[in-house]
Structure 1
Amino acid sequence: MTVTETEYAQGAGFAELYQQVQQFYAQQMQLLDSGRVEEWAATFTEDGVFAANAKPEPTVGRDTIAAVAGQVVAQYERDGIQRRHWMGMVAVDEARGEVVRARSYALVIETPRGQAPFIKASTTCEDELVRENGRWLVRHRLISRDDLA
């Protein structure tokens, strides 16, 4: 079923789903920002895809996603930069059984040690989430930076 404004206004089930999606994002991004890469990668399906318009090819598979993210997190640690992701304006565009399509805005904020924070990137995040064994996982993520075509 496609989620409509009427369903949003009337459906207690949709309100619960929406809350679950928001909680998923809050927990997922805090894992990454705290350097818990393996736990963060475990929020993707085994065959999950992480695609971005800033990269020529998508990263495919939970293990590969973990390895790439681990390299990035390690570099930020070496450089003394704390990275935070702020996700908001979450919209659940479609819900079909155990599959949800969600879209949100994400800001990437970096704080070099001893300096003021700044916004590194403004993006949209388009996800296909699936429920497996009672928990939400990302099957496909597309990150689109606003400054890139």
Structure 2
Amino acid sequence: MSVQEAPARGPQSSVELYQQVQQFYARQMQLLDSGEVDAWAHTFTEDGVFATNAQPEPTVGRQAMAAGARNAVEYYTAQGIQRRHMLGTVSVTGQEGTTVTVRSYVLLIETPRGGQATILCSATCEDVLELGPDGPAVRQRDVSRDDLV
């Protein structure tokens, strides 16, 4: 069932929810790619979890996520590499109260200064979002890189 076919639940219609989710992801990815790691980390709940099959253990909590993202941004900046996270094919797969589940695909693109852009990897992203007064926040993110499956 597509999000447009899903019945309205709570205060938002499925179309309004989908638009809110899309805008959230656009903002979240742009914050990370522009190096605004503290603002990016605040798009997760305080105790949010980021798990990926590329790391042995999940990262838990905003502070840990901000620290990891900061290290990555500093490393790639020093290497002269711009990273872009292209998140698409977003599907709101469920909603229960203020909890929304979302599935999407991600391409991670790297462009070295003066060089050619390359796709580093593709992945599937499964999120549990909490809808709050300030908009969505990620409670749980599970990223599965296609090359590591």
1:48 matched residue in structure 2? 48
Relative to its length, the structure with more helix (as a share) is 1
2:92 matched residue in structure 1? 92
In 1, the alpha carbon distance for the partners of 2:54 and 2:83 equals 18
1:117 matched residue in structure 2? 117
Aligned-residue offset at 1:131: 1.4
Per the normalisation by structure 1, the TM-score is: 0.93
- Mapping of residues 15-26 of structure 1, within 5 Å: 15-26=15-26
1:83 matched residue in structure 2? 83
Q: In the alignment, does 2:4 pair up with 1:8?
A: yes
In 1, the alpha carbon distance for the partners of 2:103 and 2:5 equals 19
Aligned-residue offset at 1:44: 0.4
Aligned-residue offset at 1:10: 6.3
Q: Secondary structure at the match of 1:147?
A: helix
In 1, the alpha carbon distance for the partners of 2:69 and 2:104 equals 20
Unaligned 5+ segments in structure 1 are none
Per the normalisation by structure 2, the TM-score is: 0.93
Q: Deviations over 1:71-96 (max 9, x none)?
A: 01110000000000101100000011
In 1, the alpha carbon distance for the partners of 2:63 and 2:136 equals 18
Root-mean-square deviation (Å): 1.3
Q: Secondary structure at the match of 2:84?
A: strand
In 2, the alpha carbon distance for the partners of 1:134 and 1:72 equals 27
- Counting matched residue pairs gives 145
2:32 matched residue in structure 1? 32
Q: Quick one: which amino acid aligns to residue 124 of structure 2?
A: T
Q: Quick one: which amino acid aligns to residue 86 of structure 2?
A: W
Aligned-residue offset at 1:140: 0.3
Aligned-residue offset at 1:9: 2.5
Identity %: 57
- Label 1:10 to 1:96 Cα distance change in 2 as closer, same or farther (>3 A): closer
Q: Deviations over 1:50-107 (max 9, x none)?
A: 0000000000011111001110111000000000010110000001111100000000
